[in-house]
Amino acid sequence: MSSLAKNYKRRNISFTKGKGSFLYTKKGTKYLDFVQGIAVNSLGHANPSLVNAIIRQSKKLWHVSNSFVIPEGEQLAKKLTNKTFADAVIFQNSGAEATEAAIKVARRYFYSIGKPKKNRILCIKNSFHGRTIAAINASGSKKMIEGFGPKVGGFDHFKFGNHKELKKKITNKTAAIMIEPIMGEGGIKVIPTWCLKEIRKICNKKKILLILDEVQCGIGRTGRFFSYEYASIKPDIVPIAKGIGGGFPIGAVLMTKKVSKAMVPGTHGSTFGGNPLAMAVGNAVMNEVFKKGFLKKVNSNSKYFISELNKIKKKFPKIIKEIRGKGLILGIQLHHDQTKFIENLMKNKLLTIRAAENVIRVLPPLNVNKKEINMALKIITKVCNS
């Protein structure tokens, strides 16, 4: 009998070893892992560069307080700002902490320029920004909020894809629009580039901030470092987590110089955020993701994977409704509930995970190879056939 609370509906399986795209049970049964901790193990299991980084750093220094300079964190922040829109970074430990920090940065910016009443955050109804009290209220999902006491104020919502409603919901109290460029938990719903461009324009016109939550779709997952890069826009604030740690808990909020000025000493902090051990791993992930040809490979593998998935969809139109996603954050939307299908994939040694709207989420490591993609395609076809 487990002593863990029952807040997860766990599958009755556990693993003792991971290597690249594969997980192994105690008995040695091998599974193709296209969950990868839900887009966390960006470089697969036990990646040698990350293992080395952790061994090296763990022998030197694990943790010091943020009241001292942490060179490994300085280094990672520099890498992130050199490669993105951002001028400044605050490190955290998880996605929810990163999105909460993003909200704080946006509000504090308007406070710092003498507009403290400009503090409301406009989000997509039923989006996902984490499980903390504020983050569930940001998502506006009844299922996530229910039973957790008084609602946290300061959030407004509009329906996915409804620009008219979005515009209508902006008031003189709105500080920022916060959206996921690809709604992960929400069913791998990609916000089209023209739409992101339009939202950026609206933010500029209304003089409000744009927060893009890249926790799930960032760090090379779409074939660009950040998914919004496809729209050639610049956000003001971007929370990240998952992939940047490659399996080690890291979160961060990236921001422009303009808004960072508000984050003066004492405005935010974290005991563990930015510790040397985490930062050493983050630096190693960045080195791998920016190696020549790495993102190009993500794109070519993605192109192949998506086109083959669409061929399967064509063959089984009564089962598969739509292939969704970008890069290696993919969704197979079924016409019916996906539970049984996911179970059958697992019986055939392919691990995937659900998302909303009957979607099966497919999240291979970014360094997956064609042979492994073919293995997955074969299993998906077999389950469709059965």
Ligand X SMILES: Cc1ncc(COP(=O)(O)O)c(C=O)c1O
Task: Say whether 24 sits in a helix, a strand or coil.
Answer: strand
Instruction: Locate 274 and state its tokens.
Output: 């930015």
* Nearer Cβ to ligand X (233/375): 233
By CB under 6 A, tell whether 184 contacts ligand X.
Answer: yes
* Nearer Cβ to ligand X (309/353): 353
Q: Give the rounded distance of the alpha carbon of 372 from its chain centre.
A: 23
Instruction: Locate 330 and state its tokens.
Output: 């993919």
Nearest distance from C-beta of residue 92 to ligand X, angstroms: 9
Task: List Cβ neighbours of 91 (8 Å cut-off, separation of 6 or more).
Answer: 73, 76, 77, 250, 251, 252, 270, 273, 274, 278, 279
Stretch that binds ligand X, among 109-117, 157-165, 178-186, 378-386 (CB under 6 A): 178-186
Task: Considering only the C-alpha atoms of the chain, give the largest distance between any 2 of them, rounded to a whole number of Å.
Answer: 63
Stretch that binds ligand X, among 93-101, 191-199, 204-212, 369-377 (CB under 6 A): 93-101
Stretch that binds ligand X, among 83-91, 171-179, 209-217, 258-266 (CB under 6 A): 209-217
Strand 22-24 relative to strand 30-33: parallel, antiparallel, unpaired? antiparallel
141 and 133 Cβ atoms separated by less than 8 Å: no
Residue of 18, 37, 130, 220 that binds ligand X (CB under 6 A)? 130
Give the contact letters, 94-123, x = binds to ligand X (CB under 6 A), - = no.
Answer: xxx--x------------------------
Number of residues that bind ligand X (CB under 6 A): 15
Residue of 23, 170, 178, 215 that binds ligand X (CB under 6 A)? 215
Task: Say whether 181 sits in a helix, a strand or coil.
Answer: coil
Residue 329: name the closest of 130, 36, 98 by CA: 36
How many CB atoms neighbour CB 19 within 10 A?
13
Nearest distance from C-beta of residue 297 to ligand X, angstroms: 24
Name the closest residue to ligand X (Cβ): 95
Residue 332: name the closest of 307, 369, 358, 294 by CA: 358
* Nearer Cβ to ligand X (184/274): 184
DSSP 248: B
* Nearer Cβ to ligand X (138/383): 138
* Nearer Cβ to ligand X (204/271): 271
By CB under 6 A, tell whether 181 contacts ligand X.
Answer: no
Residue type, 161: G
By CB under 6 A, tell whether 128 contacts ligand X.
Answer: yes
Residue of 216, 283, 358, 367 that binds ligand X (CB under 6 A)? 216
Instruction: Locate 186 and state its tokens.
Output: 């929400």
What residue ranges bind ligand X (CB under 6 A)?
38, 94-96, 99, 128-130, 180, 184-185, 213, 215-216, 241
